[in-house]
Structure 1
């Protein structure tokens, strides 16, 4: 099976993606991850204003099959959360790289992204 792995994003081994725009990093889970989880029924996210450390847990995604922790790709302050997911967690399945995004972090150090997997490296991991 082939999964969508957009080139402009960076990836964690734990299947989160990160997309940086002007120092703000949008985060979600990959197409592979949503497929492995099955139907997402609940998403737990931090509050706006919370400060995260890169590589630490920031929330939980729950599906009919499993509960999985979510990890921050970079450290910084949470400046936005996707509140639509509270009423429509299925957006994570339907559009993991678009409407199913989870949060945005004002990155303390956007260079942290350089340590993450490239799209090619991530594709190798999930192959």
Structure 2
């Protein structure tokens, strides 16, 4: 059975844009190769940390929503723990209300982006 999950990863801030994109692709590919389906991914970019991790005060955040069998998370956690570029990660199982909320939020973000683009064209 496929469950809905959200993965949040904080990568080390010393990654270049290309390395940051490659790390995202690495984990997307891992999930897909192990029977998961990517629902949505959202790179948040460089953000300040609430407290220093490994003497760093910033990190590159990335959020991934996916569907997968529950046994995939154990293998994914092993991969994340082995990766030196990952400072922290968290996998959360989403219930039907969280899935619905995320879908509405994404639709709202897309609508806002379309409206801003329209406003810029008319300005």
Q: TM-score range by the shorter chain?
A: 0.3 to 0.5
Q: TM-score, normalised by structure 1?
A: 0.34
Q: If each structure's strand is expressed as a fraction of its own residues, which one has the higher value?
A: 2
Q: If each structure's helix is expressed as a fraction of its own residues, which one has the higher value?
A: 2
Q: TM-score, normalised by structure 2?
A: 0.35
